[in-house]
Structure 1
Amino acid sequence: MKTIYLAAATLAAAPALADNHEDRTGWPESFTVGTASQGGTYFAYGSGWANLVAEELGLTGGGEVTGGPMQNMALVHTGDAAFGMTTMGPARESIDGTNPIAPGLQMTNACAMFPMYQTPFSVTALSSSGIESISDIPEGARIGFGPAGSTSDTYFPRMMEELGVDFERRNGGWSDLGGQLQDGLLDVIAFAAGVPVPAVSQLEVQTDVNIIEFTEEEQQKIMDAFPVSAFDITANTYSTLEEDARSVSMWNFAIANCDLPESFVNAVVDVVMSDNERMMNIHRAARSTLPENWDKNAGVLPWHPGAAKWFIENAGADIPDDQIHGN
């Protein structure tokens, strides 16, 4: 069953910002934003900006509980949801036609709208294991990759294979896998999640751990093979770290159905991107929801014309015409 959380506002009572967008030809009276399950960052962040947009533009809109990035690509592509949120990996797979929800369907009608935040990939082992680098991971190591079907479970095993690591794949909740590592049932845990990962922070309190960074060569190899960007886990993230740890991260982007009116999407982007402090009040992850991060799309998703217009005019974005939908 779909669960939709709506915020309603009348046009007459809409704030002044709505008056800046007088051309409302073709605008919908309501909209939904595909998020993920309740209790996660996607749901809180997505419902928050949906409600903000609804209030500012005098529309009815809200966040919808979904299965996450892959399903959001499908919902937005078909128009069942006006907006959604996805990570670059699922976005690329969906455009290539390998989204497991609809194999063979190239979901090219979901367009980039604005950058959200990063999901870093991090590796942890017990200090007693002697594993201090990726190359130290022994053959047949038992590695926990997080919940089955998650972004972590989808991409981290492939990354390890790319780096030549031989392993046994294990799945589970983050806290459960952290406990298994401490009990010696796992050799390594490899999570794609916001840092600090609570399970790793808890481990630090109870035992000595190694936060394992990638070498420059390993980092580049992963970036060449997957839709990820360079990322540093800062030294103040974990008490174990004495200096920044080299890693990679996968960007999350808000997406829009490509057929939505240019002026509508432009107005939505303006609401979200023009006041970062307001977004930070919705969720701390929004500290990366900044205009200069427009380039983190890296050509994976076609840009919605309304969004491209906003970033070109307000962020000096250099978006090639062939990366803008309809051009």
Structure 2
Amino acid sequence: MPTLSRNTLALTVAASVTTAISLTTVGAAQASDSVDRSDWPDSITVATASQGGTYYVYGSGWANLIADELGVSGGGEITGGPTQNMALVHSGDVALGLTTMGPAAQALNGESPLAPGMKMDNVCALFPMYETPFSIAALSSSGIDSIDEIPDGARIGFGPAASTSDTYFPAILSELGVDYERRNGGWSDLGSQLQDGLIDVVAFAAGIPIPAVSQLEVQTGVNFIEFSDAQQEKIVDDFPVAPFTIPASTYSTLDHDLQAVSMWNFTIANCDLPEEFVYQIVKVSMENNDRMRDIHRSAANSVPENLEYNTVLPYHPGAVRWYEENGHEIDPSLIRQ
């Protein structure tokens, strides 16, 4: 089986910046003294995505929560997003990460664009995060109010290379007849490029509210572009997404609910991590949803009731133990043996 080093990943994913964010908070609140910590790692890293996106905020905050509660040093790492995170966690370069079900299925089946033919089967699911809506924004001054009004040759920012957005959104827009010039970059950078007129449209696949968009609408007028009924139906039929509604309350200048599509996200772990360590991570995460929501409000969906939306990755035995102890059933076919 081929190996996939971090250097290879960094070269493959142009938008990835594999620079660890030094969030080495070691909490005073330790796990119970009765817990055997002899095989626990001294530190953990969570693979996130680019700055300005929800993954970065969610993942870095989650790393700090784990560090505070379990007494290990922890931090988030900037990456190219879900596709690269599957590779980093599979290889053991990082312990934990965040991914989306579409890229997860591709990686598990050996169809990752980063390493075609390599089945990344040493990745286990922990818990549901939230749905990733696919949404589109342009400046109000552009006059673009609908997908049909995106002009031929429009410069569209699709996020970091090989991210969920970059993997699926170009194909989605092509399916809808949009002719575009593809641009990649971190969300914060693309937001700045949109404001400066260097690109015409940004096509996001990220948890809402998207920090870069929230910042952008404070500085200038933003048009939020939705899918029509026919467009939504076509995309749901042709891609691994579901209908979704972005509430008007998501952004300060959004005055009506937006029709969109979405894909679920889950936290992931290297399957070789100790069972008790993973059990404690899931326990902290599932029993402190108020603190998870303080990290990012999308974590309101980070609850066991949404376990059903993972039909792809096996659950780590440590995660399964917590769910079963708390009355949540896991499909036996999705339990890592």
TM range (shorter): 0.7 to 0.9
Q: Percent identity?
A: 50
Q: Quick one: which of 123, 142, 147 aligns to 2:154?
A: 142
Question: Which deviates the most, 106-115 or 237-246?
Answer: 237-246
Structure 1 residues 316 and 145, CA gap change in structure 2 (3 angstroms)? same
Question: Which residue number corresponds to residue 270 of structure 1?
Answer: 283
The 8 Å contact of residues 18 and 56 in structure 1, kept in 2 or not, is answered as no
8 Å contact from structure 1 (residues 273, 291) kept in 2: yes
Q: Does 1:5 align with 2:5?
A: no
TM-aligned CA distance change 1:125 to 1:268, over 3 Å:
closer
The corresponding residue for 2:191 is 174
In 1, the alpha carbon distance for the partners of 2:210 and 2:48 equals 21
The CA deviation at 1:305 is: 2.3
Match of 2:331 in 1: 320
User: Per-residue displacement from partner, 1:166-212 (whole Å, max 9, x unpaired)?
Assistant: 3333445122124428xxx73x43222433564477468755x6432
Contact 2:169 2:203 in 1 (8 A): yes
Which structure has the larger Rg over C-alpha atoms?
A: 1
Take 1:117 and 1:291, find their aligned partners in 2: how far apart are those partners? 11
Compared CA separation, residues 111 and 141, structure 1 to 2 (3 A):
same
**What whole-Å deviation, never above 9, does each CA across 1:242-266 have from its counterpart, x for those lacking one?**
4311112333321111122333312
Is the deviation greater in 219-228 or in 105-114?
A: 219-228
* Distance in structure 1 (CA, Å) of the matches to 2:230 and 2:331: 30
- Structure 2: distance between partners of 1:102 and 1:179: 35
Secondary structure in 2 matching 1:248: strand
Equivalenced residue count is 311
Whether 2:209 is the aligned partner of 1:195: answer yes
> Do residues 244 (structure 1) and 257 (structure 2) align?
yes
Aligned to 1:306: 318
SS at match of 2:227: coil
- Alpha-carbon distance, 1:126 to partner: 6.0
Q: How far apart are residue 276 of structure 1 and its match?
A: 1.1
Determine which of 17, 21, 27 is the counterpart of 2:39: 27
Structure 1 271/204 Cα, relative in aligned 2: closer, same or farther at 3 Å?
Answer: closer
Deviations 1:289-322 (A, max 9, x none): 222222232x1222212223333443634x3211
- Counterpart residue type for residue 70 of structure 1: T
Query: What are the ranges of 5 or more consecutive residues in structure 1 without an aligned counterpart?
Result: none
What residue number does 1:153 align with? 166
Distance in 1 between residues matched to 2:66 and 2:39, nearest whole Å: 13
The alpha-carbon deviation at position 38 of structure 1 amounts to 7.4
What are the within-5 Å matches in structure 2 for residues 1-327 of structure 1?
Answer: 3=20, 4-8=22-26, 14-15=29-30, 18-19=32-33, 22=35, 24=36, 27-36=39-48, 39-40=51-52, 41-58=54-71, 60-67=72-79, 68-125=81-138, 132-137=145-150, 140-149=152-161, 150-171=163-184, 173-180=190-197, 186=200, 188-193=201-206, 194-195=208-209, 198-199=212-213, 202=216, 206-207=220-221, 210-238=223-251, 241-297=254-310, 299-314=311-326, 316-317=328-329, 319-326=330-337
Secondary structure (helix, strand or coil) at the match of 1:232 reads: strand
Q: TM-score, normalised by structure 2?
A: 0.76
> Quick one: structure 1 residues 137 and 56, their matched pair in 2 at CA, closer, same or farther if it must change by over 3 Å?
closer
State the alpha-carbon separation in 2 of the partners of residues 203 and 43 from structure 1: 20
Give deviations 1:37-93, integer Å, cap 9, x for gaps. 6744434433333333234334x2312524233332122212232222222333222
TM-score (norm 1): 0.78
Would you say the 8 A contact 2:144–2:223 is kept in 1? yes
Residues in 2 aligned to 1:128 and 1:25: alpha-carbon distance in whole angstroms: 57
Quote the Cα distance in structure 2 between the aligned partners of 1:25 and 1:199.
42
Code of the residue aligned with 2:193 in structure 1: it is D
Letter in structure 2 aligned against 1:34: V
Residues 250 and 56 of structure 1, relative CA distance in 2, 3 Å threshold: same
Using a 3 Å threshold, how does the CA distance of structure 1 residues 294 and 142 change in structure 2: closer, same or farther? same
Cα 1:203–1:8 shift into 2, 3 Å: closer
Q: What do the CA deviations read for 1:120-142 (whole angstroms, capped 9, x no partner)?
A: 2212356787755434545x341
| 2:275–2:318 contact (8 Å) kept in structure 1 | yes
Instruction: For residue 246 of structure 1, give the secondary structure of its aligned residue in structure 2.
Output: strand
TM-superposition CA deviations, 1:220-243 (whole Å, max 9, x none): 443344443432111233466443
